[in-house]
């Protein structure tokens, strides 16, 4: 089976022709007035459309009319197109989202695993293809992809992602606690056969398809507010049109009902009403492209509102496993000697820690050509908790956990320098894990292991300041270490020695002050906080408990993506706001285009500032403009307007100029151009 | 023009100085619960109010829910209306009648009561002819004080809810509005007016023999006192039909100037209070600047068109005359124009005949009545201003991509619906009322100008009723059953609908936590906010009323040519 390791490969292919075709069919299906009721504005347009049909059949239905059947038919067709375009905008977004969800055959972050078949042969498959009951083999360095039970083997496993504890845990079959493994943990030494106990479902996929199918129930709070406002606007324009009919009639001004209908349709906020749903769906799509799974659209809007962001340290900001960071010699030993010993003693240690010791030693210039060295290597095992080499010249070199090495040294009647315990304690206080280095029977030095910050997120969180978000890092470490790491990542504050219940308490506290709180974590110990926070983003490399508690999952395990998610959340709302402003400022220009055709009172010709060809062509041009602006705005709706981390002042100015002033000017130009074209035929 | 500049400069400097003091006063005296350390003045007023609370059985420290707040205000208003209804209906039986023996019919009583309790004071009746002294000098001021105090409470409650997060107590608000704002200021104002020569007596009339030995009766009364509450309370109804054009009510240029100051002082002060409560004076400066900008623009435009006069008459005479029709010479064009532009925003008094003003001036007045937020009627102007701030914040929030917030409180569906109700109420009542009237009682004049003008009058009448303003384009024969009942209904629904929606909105925002300001928070105390606020306020009125204003005064102007 060919396996492509392209992480971003998830959209196999979308049949665009099919998407457009089904969107078209659905737009016609949704002409059903009962279905139109979901959008009051378009429902009124549809009623106008039915009125126009009757006027097409009998133009003098509401009194004598100068308009021919053809004129009315033309207006009727434009109204039909307005409704169809509006439906199409919604349907194309829905169908695109659905097509993308369906074409999602490989889940992001899928890893290659070795499945052990009943006949003991090994088959390479994707983790998403595993089923409950399958047995997989994991060896040192592998990520355990699923929750399962150890059936064979013994190994030390790094569970820092779940527990936040950096020390490895021993896993063996046949015991209650130590025989179960959790997804997201990593095997450090040896190997295991694991039986899959949980179903890896297509749940996220189902979720996505579901969202695309059933967009109506997913309205976000701000969308509900905006809809309330648009409904109020629709009502007031309806009132305007009806009273205008009565007043014009009273003034003996011959008023064409078709023209009044046209005025009403042009004034109604059709553009934004048609595009609200596409904007929402497009946002979800953009987040999915970021390789983030989101449980609902409301979360995106919530993310845009975020005031505070809690971050878990271990596994989120740091790698979650320890790296050698410092070598401390004891007594009269030189640092180079210690480094050389450490290098040799760790050479056969295949755990990440062992490898990190080698690279640290190299930095101290202590690289030893191993081919020149003869000896008996001792691998690191979970039992001995040390590794080393017995050199052919009789030197015994060891490196390992403090108590093991101490015991080993004392058993050989060894020598321990007096300040050893104090140095060990100091390292531990600063958040490091001390390893001792033994040469023969003397403990010559110490290596400090530390959890290192992910290089990709260095300084990245500084951008959250511009977005107005305070970041707080939570860690079980002591304050000193926490501060250092927080500073490196560009995080504002840190909360050291935080217990899970304290985290929840703090989050609740902020929430009661009305703040929207985000939490990023990956371990089981973060799960309660992830569940409590408004936005819980978990890392795909994290544990199942964390993923279940969270409402967003980052498949690439990159916590800085939260910044992009926040921006998308804001972009969605900003796009809605911009198009609403556009829709409303349009009305001013449309008044100037249409009113001269309605107010045929001598003296009021001065109103006709646009000098349109004729009354009828003015009406038809305004209607055509009103209609074609919907499909023209679909790309803006789907792409979203630009959101940058700039001062809100500048962003507002920019958007007001673009969509406010633009909304005022564009219809003047658009209607005039359409009139020049249409005027020839009418 | 020079006169206008001096007039406006003086007006603004006196107005801002006085309203700053009053605004600060309101901010300290209307906090809820009371300040921990009280000033001497607060202690003094507390001592006066304690017996009133005890008598009414009100616990001034009890905070109520928004619903209770509204219904307390509403039912106390209704109670007063019922009492006054009987007083007016039986005015011929009750004592202190003066020379009047007029049996008021029920529709007219309903109109008078609705008009007074809603602080509209639209007058379909002629006070000195239809009302006995008891009705005119006691019942009317009672209603005027109470409606004005209710208005102040309605304005203060949402403002306090949004800024301080406290709903407060309706009884203390109304009583404080009386004892701390209306009574003391009206007392001082009445003294000033007496000094300026207004009569203030319970002697209803002076009868004397002229040189030709004709017996003549001049109606007097407690005019200076009446005038004070008429202006400070934004009521606009006077005990004399001629209102501020009457020499007793407005004897001189100086009194006219002071009347403009007194009409505007409380609405201005309330906006300054907003700054105190927000602890952000820049915010009230921004809002005040926008509102004053519109007001001064209107002052100027009205004066210019009035100074220009009627070009047809001027062409015919070959000379230039300003438009003096319907104006008092002692106020001049400027004094009349500024007064008119001010009252179409806030109150319903008149010192000249609006009917004779230039169509542009009438169009501006109609805009003001439809907008209602440019200072507006007592308390309610503030309510509409807050509503437009909410709308502006809503749009700005959307444009910035964050859930909109008003002064740090998040605006959700509930608030948007309530404020939409407030914005829809006016067009619903006005446009529906105008359409219905034109169907039921069309004007059959053959002269197209008269025909249009009748529509303008009907439009103005409903707009003024729905805006609780009370000014009118005279010429409608409006003391009949249809007009009395329809406008009584419009005024009542407009007032209490707005009151209910705004108090509920305040209640809904009161409990919301205030979000901390971050670098992503849009600052609302900036010029940009002022611009957007101005734009939103104008566009939301224009979008609904543009065709109607074009059809009435503007077309009157255009078809003249």
pLDDT at A3: 33
pLDDT at A482: 77
From A211, A222, A309, A86, select the one nearest A574 (Cα to Cα).
A222
Q: Which residues lie across from A519 on neighbouring strands?
A: A310, A536
Q: Which residues contact B316 (CB under 8 A, 6 or more apart)?
A: none
Kindly list the distances between the CA atom of residue A641 and the CA atoms of A110, A222, A635, A638, A644, in Å, as whole numbers in the listed order. Answer: 33, 17, 10, 9, 10
Instruction: Determine the Cα–Cα distance for residues B220 and A459; give it in Å rounded to an integer.
Output: 81
* Residue stretches of chain B with pLDDT short of 50: 561
Give yes or no for B527 touching A (CB within 8 A).
Answer: no
User: Looking at the predicted structure, is the pLDDT value of residue A6 above 60?
Assistant: no
* Alpha-helical regions (H) of B328-379: 332-343, 359-371
Buried b (16+ CB within 10 A) or exposed e, B278-290: bebbebbebbbeb
3-state SS, residue A326: strand
pLDDT at A107: 46
Give yes or no for A602 touching B (CB within 8 A).
Answer: yes
User: Looking at the predicted structure, is the pLDDT value of residue A296 above 80?
Assistant: no
Kindly list the distances between the CA atom of residue A87 and the CA atoms of A51, A81, A269, in Å, as whole numbers in the listed order. Answer: 20, 10, 15
Selecting from B518, B544, B559 the residue whose C-beta is nearest the C-beta of A602 gives B559
pLDDT at A201: 47
Selecting from A228, A656, A660 the residue whose C-beta is nearest the C-beta of B416 gives A228
Chain A and chain B share a number of CB contacts under 8 A equal to 197
Burial degree of B71 (CB within 10 A; 0-12, 13-18, 19+):
middle
Quick: pLDDT tens for A628-662.
999 999 888 888 888 776 788 888 999 999 999 99
Kindly list the distances between the CA atom of residue A286 and the CA atoms of A292, A463, A569, A579, B226, in Å, as whole numbers in the listed order. Answer: 9, 20, 10, 19, 67
Are the CB atoms for A187 and A139 separated by under 8 Å? yes
DSSP state of B292: H
Are the CB atoms for A293 and A552 separated by under 8 Å? yes
Query: Mean pLDDT throughout A374-403?
Result: 81
Q: Which residues of A touch B532 (CB under 8 A)?
A: 652, 656
Distance from CA of A604 to the nearest CA of B (A): 6
User: Looking at the predicted structure, is the pLDDT value of residue A4 above 50?
Assistant: no
Q: Do B403 and A514 touch (CB under 8 A)?
A: no
Q: Do A652 and B400 touch (CB under 8 A)?
A: yes
pLDDT at A202: 44
Distance from CA of A581 to the nearest CA of B (A): 8
Q: What is the gyration radius of the CA atoms in chain B, in angstroms?
A: 23
DSSP state of A646: S
pLDDT at A105: 43
H-run or E-run covering A308? strand A308-312
pLDDT at B547: 92
Give yes or no for A534 touching B (CB within 8 A).
Answer: no
Give yes or no for A134 touching B (CB within 8 A).
Answer: no
Quick: pLDDT tens for A114-140.
888 888 888 887 776 777 788 888 888
From A503, A507, A510, select the one nearest A526 (Cα to Cα).
A503
Instruction: Determine the Cα–Cα distance for residues A492 and A472; give it in Å rounded to an integer.
Output: 6
Give yes or no for B559 touching A (CB within 8 A).
Answer: yes
Instruction: Determine the Cα–Cα distance for residues B312 and B372; give it in Å rounded to an integer.
Output: 33
pLDDT at A230: 93
Q: Is the dihedral of CA A138, A141, A145, A146 positive or negative?
A: positive
Domains and CATH numbers, chain A: 16-103+206-291+566-678 (no CATH), 131-199 (2.70.150.10)
Of residues A142 and B461, more confidently modeled: B461
Give yes or no for A581 touching B (CB within 8 A).
Answer: yes
3-state SS string for A278-307? HHHHHHHHHHHHCCEEECCHHHHHHHHCCC
3-state SS, residue A539: strand
3-state SS, residue B124: coil
Of A450-459, A508-517, B303-312, B366-375, give the lowest mean pLDDT range: A450-459
Interface of A with B in 31-60 (CB under 8 A): none
pLDDT at A218: 65
Q: Which residues contact A441 (CB under 8 A, 6 or more apart)?
A: A396, A409, A412, A413, A414, A415
Q: Do A247 and B455 touch (CB under 8 A)?
A: yes
Are the CB atoms for A124 and A112 separated by under 8 Å? yes
Q: Which residues of B touch A230 (CB under 8 A)?
A: none
pLDDT at A262: 93
Of A158, A285, A305, A312, the active-site residue reads: A312
pLDDT at A347: 81
Of residues A624 and A115, more confidently modeled: A624
Kindly list the distances between the CA atom of residue A570 and the CA atoms of A303, A634, B128, in Å, as whole numbers in the listed order. Answer: 8, 18, 63
Query: Mean pLDDT throughout A200-217?
Result: 51
Interface of B with A in 428-457 (CB under 8 A): 428, 431-432, 434-435, 438-439, 442, 448, 451-452, 455
3-state SS, residue A6: coil
Best residue in B426, B520, B530, B541 to probe A by mutation, most A CBs within 10 Å?
Answer: B520
Best residue in A227, A232, A465 to probe B by mutation, most B CBs within 10 Å?
Answer: A232
Q: What is the gyration radius of the CA atoms in chain A, in angstroms?
A: 34
3-state SS, residue A401: strand
Q: How confident is the model at residue A210 (pLDDT cuts 50, 70, 90)?
A: low
Instruction: Determine the Cα–Cα distance for residues B392 and A577; give it in Å rounded to an integer.
Output: 12
State chain A's maximal CA–CA distance in angstroms. Answer: 118
Distance from CA of B435 to the nearest CA of A (A): 6
Give yes or no for A643 touching B (CB within 8 A).
Answer: yes
- In this structure, the number of other CB atoms found within 10 A of the CB of residue A400 comes to 24
Q: Do A587 and B543 touch (CB under 8 A)?
A: yes
Best residue in B390, B396, B399 to probe A by mutation, most A CBs within 10 Å?
Answer: B399
The count of C-alpha atoms lying within 13 angstroms of the C-alpha of A391, restricted to the half-sphere facing its C-beta, is 16
- Total number of residues shown for chain B: 561
- In this structure, the number of other CB atoms found within 10 A of the CB of residue B375 comes to 28
Quick: pLDDT tens for A194-206.
888 766 544 444 5
The count of C-alpha atoms lying within 13 angstroms of the C-alpha of B275, restricted to the half-sphere facing its C-beta, is 22
State the Cα angle at A307 between A303 and A308, rounded to 5°: 100
Give yes or no for A224 touching B (CB within 8 A).
Answer: yes
Active site annotation includes A312 = yes
Q: How confident is the model at residue A601 (pLDDT cuts 50, 70, 90)?
A: confident
Distance from CA of A293 to the nearest CA of B (A): 21
Q: How confident is the model at residue A33 (pLDDT cuts 50, 70, 90)?
A: confident
- In this structure, the number of other CB atoms found within 10 A of the CB of residue B215 comes to 8
pLDDT at A9: 40
pLDDT at A164: 54
Put simply, whether the predicted model's pTM sits higher than 0.90 gets the answer no
- In this structure, the number of other CB atoms found within 10 A of the CB of residue A601 comes to 19
Q: Do A236 and B423 touch (CB under 8 A)?
A: yes
Distance from CA of B408 to the nearest CA of A (A): 10
Q: Which two tokens stand for residue B318?
A: 């070959």
Burial degree of B6 (CB within 10 A; 0-12, 13-18, 19+):
exposed
- In this structure, the number of other CB atoms found within 10 A of the CB of residue A413 comes to 7
Q: Which residues of A touch B426 (CB under 8 A)?
A: none
Give yes or no for A392 touching B (CB within 8 A).
Answer: no
């Amino acid at each position: 089976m060919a396996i492509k390791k392209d992480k971003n490969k998830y959209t196999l292919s979308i049949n665009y022709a099919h998407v457009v075709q089904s969107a078209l069919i659905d737009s016609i299906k949704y002409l059903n007035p009962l279905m139109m009721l979901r959008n009051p504005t378009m429902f009124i347009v549809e009623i106008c459309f039915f009125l126009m049909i009757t006027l097409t059949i009998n133009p003098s239905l509401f009194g004598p009319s100068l308009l021919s059947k053809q004129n009315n038919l033309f207006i009727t067709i434009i109204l039909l197109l307005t409704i169809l375009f509006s439906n199409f905008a919604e349907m194309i977004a829905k169908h695109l989202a659905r097509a993308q969800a369906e074409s999602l055959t490989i889940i992001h972050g899928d890893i290659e695993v070795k499945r052990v078949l009943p006949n003991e042969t090994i088959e390479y498959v994707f983790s998403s293809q595993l089923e409950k009951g399958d047995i997989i083999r994991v060896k040192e360095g592998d990520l355990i992809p699923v929750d399962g039970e150890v059936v064979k083997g013994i190994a030390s496993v790094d569970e820092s992602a779940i527990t936040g504890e950096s020390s490895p845990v021993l896993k063996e079959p046949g015991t209650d606690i130590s025989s179960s493994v959790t997804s997201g943990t990593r095997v450090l030494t040896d190997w295991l056969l694991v039986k899959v106990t949980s179903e890896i479902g297509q749940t996220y996929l189902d979720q996505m398809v579901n969202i695309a199918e059933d967009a109506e129930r997913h309205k976000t709070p701000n969308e509900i507010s905006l809809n309330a406002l648009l409904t109020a606007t629709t009502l007031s324009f309806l009132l305007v049109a009806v009273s205008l009919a009565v007043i014009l009639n009273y003034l003996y001004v011959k008023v064409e009902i078709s023209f009044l209908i046209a005025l009403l349709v042009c004034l109604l906020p059709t553009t934004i009403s048609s595009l609200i749903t596409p904007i929402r769906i497009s946002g979800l799509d953009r987040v999915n492209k970021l390789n983030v799974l989101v449980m609902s659209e409301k979360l995106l809007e919530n993310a845009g509102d975020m005031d505070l962001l809690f971050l878990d340290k271990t596994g989120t900001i740091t790698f979650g496993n320890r790296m050698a960071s410092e070598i401390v010699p004891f007594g009269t030993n030189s640092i180079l000697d210690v480094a050389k010993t450490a290098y040799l003693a760790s050479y056969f240690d295949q755990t990440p820690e062992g490898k990190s010791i080698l690279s640290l030693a190299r930095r101290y210039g202590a690289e030893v050509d191993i081919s020149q060295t003869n000896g008996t290597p001792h691998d690191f095992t979970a039992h001995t908790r040390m590794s080393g080499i017995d050199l052919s010249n009789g030197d015994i070199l060891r490196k390992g956990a403090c108590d093991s090495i101490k015991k080993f040294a004392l058993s050989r009647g060894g020598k321990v320098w007096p300040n050893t315990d104090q140095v060990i304690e100091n390292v531990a206080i600063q958040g490091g894990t001390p390893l001792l280095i033994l040469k023969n029977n003397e403990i010559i030095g110490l290596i400090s292991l530390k959890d290192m910050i992910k290089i990709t997120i260095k300084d990245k969180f500084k951008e959250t300041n511009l977005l107005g978000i305070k970041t707080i890092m939570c860690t079980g470490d002591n304050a000193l270490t926490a501060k250092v790491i927080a500073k490196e990542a560009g995080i504002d504050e840190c909360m050291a020695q935080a217990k899970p219940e304290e985290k929840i308490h703090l989050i609740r506290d902020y929430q009661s002050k009305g703040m929207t709180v985000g939490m990023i974590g990956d371990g089981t110990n973060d799960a309660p906080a992830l569940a409590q926070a408004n936005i819980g983003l978990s890392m795909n490399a994290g544990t199942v408990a964390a993923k279940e508690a969270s409402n967003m999952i980052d498949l690439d395990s990159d916590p800085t993506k939260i910044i992009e998610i926040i921006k998308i959340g804001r972009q969605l709302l900003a796009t809605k706001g911009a198009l609403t402003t556009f829709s409303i400022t349009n009305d001013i220009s449309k008044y100037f285009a249409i009113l001269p055709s309605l107010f045929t009172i001598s003296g009021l010709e001065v109103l006709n500032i646009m000098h349109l060809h004729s009354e009828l062509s003015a009406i038809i041009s305004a209607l055509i403009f009103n209609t074609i602006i919907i499909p023209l705005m679909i790309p803006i709706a789907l792409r979203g307007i630009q959101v940058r981390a700039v001062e809100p002042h500048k962003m507002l100015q920019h958007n007001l100029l673009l969509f406010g002033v633009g909304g005022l000017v564009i219809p003047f130009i658009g209607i005039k151009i359409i009139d020049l074209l249409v005027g020839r035929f009418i | 023009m020079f006169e206008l500049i001096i007039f406006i400069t003086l007006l603004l400097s006196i107005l801002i100085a006085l309203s700053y003091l009053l605004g600060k006063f309101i901010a300290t005296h209307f906090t809820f619960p009371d300040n921990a350390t009280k000033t001497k003045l607060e202690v003094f007023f507390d001592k006066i109010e304690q017996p009133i609370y005890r008598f009414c059985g009100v616990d001034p420290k009890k905070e109520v829910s928004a619903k209770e707040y509204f219904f307390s205000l509403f039912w106390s208003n209704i109670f007063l209306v019922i009492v006054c209804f009987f007083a007016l209906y039986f005015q011929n039986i009750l004592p202190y009648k003066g020379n009047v023996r007029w049996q008021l019919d029920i529709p007219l009583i309903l109109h008078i009561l609705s008009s007074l309790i809603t602080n509209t004071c639209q007058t379909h009746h002629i006070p000195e002819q239809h009302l006995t002294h008891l009705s005119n000098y006691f019942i009317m001021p009672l209603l005027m004080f109470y409606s004005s105090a209710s208005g102040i409470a309605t304005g203060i409650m949402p403002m306090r809810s949004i800024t301080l997060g406290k709903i407060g107590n309706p009884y203390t608000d109304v009583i404080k509005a009386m004892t701390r704002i209306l009574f003391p200021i009206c007392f001082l104002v009445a003294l000033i007016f007496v000094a300026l020569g207004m009569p203030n007596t319970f002697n209803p009339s002076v009868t004397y023999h002229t040189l030709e030995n004709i017996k003549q009766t001049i109606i007097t009364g407690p005019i200076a006192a009446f005038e004070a509450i008429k202006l400070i309370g934004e009521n606009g109804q006077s005990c004399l039909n001629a209102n501020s054009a009457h020499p007793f009510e407005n004897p001189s240029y100086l009194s006219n100037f002071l009347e403009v100051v007194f009409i505007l002082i409380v609405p201005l002060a309330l906006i300054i209070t907003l700054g105190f409560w927000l602890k952000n004076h820049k915010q009230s400066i921004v809002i005040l600047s926008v509102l004053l900008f519109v007001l001064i623009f209107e002052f100027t435009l009205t004066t210019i068109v009035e100074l220009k006069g009627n070009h047809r008459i001027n062409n015919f005479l070959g000379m230039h005359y300003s438009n003096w029709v319907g104006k008092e010479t002692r106020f001049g064009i400027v004094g009349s124009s500024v007064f008119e532009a001010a009252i179409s925003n806030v109150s319903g008094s008149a010192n000249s005949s609006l009917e004779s003003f230039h169509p542009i001036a009438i169009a501006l007045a109609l805009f003001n009545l439809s907008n209602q937020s440019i200072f507006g009627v007592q308390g309610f102007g503030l309510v509409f201003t807050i509503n437009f701030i909410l709308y502006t914040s809503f749009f700005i929030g959307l444009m910035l991509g964050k859930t909109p917030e008003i002064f740090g409180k998040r605006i959700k569906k509930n608030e948007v619906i309530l404020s939409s109700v407030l914005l829809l109420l006016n067009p619903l009542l006005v446009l529906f009322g105008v359409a219905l009237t034109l169907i039921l009682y069309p004007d059959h004049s053959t002269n197209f100008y008269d025909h249009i003008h009748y529509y303008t009058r009907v439009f103005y009448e409903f707009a003024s009723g729905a805006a609780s303003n009370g000014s009118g384009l005279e010429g409608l024969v409006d003391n009949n059953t249809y007009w009395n009942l329809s406008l009584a209904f419009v005024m009542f629904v407009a007032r209490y609908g707005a009151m209910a929606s705004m108090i509920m909105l305040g209640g809904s925002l009161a409990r919301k936590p205030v979000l901390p300001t971050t670098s992503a928070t849009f600052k609302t105390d900036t010029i940009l906010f002022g611009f957007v606020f101005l734009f939103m306020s104008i566009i939301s009125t224009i979008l609904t009323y543009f065709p109607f204003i074009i059809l009435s005064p503007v077309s009157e102007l255009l078809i003249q040519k």
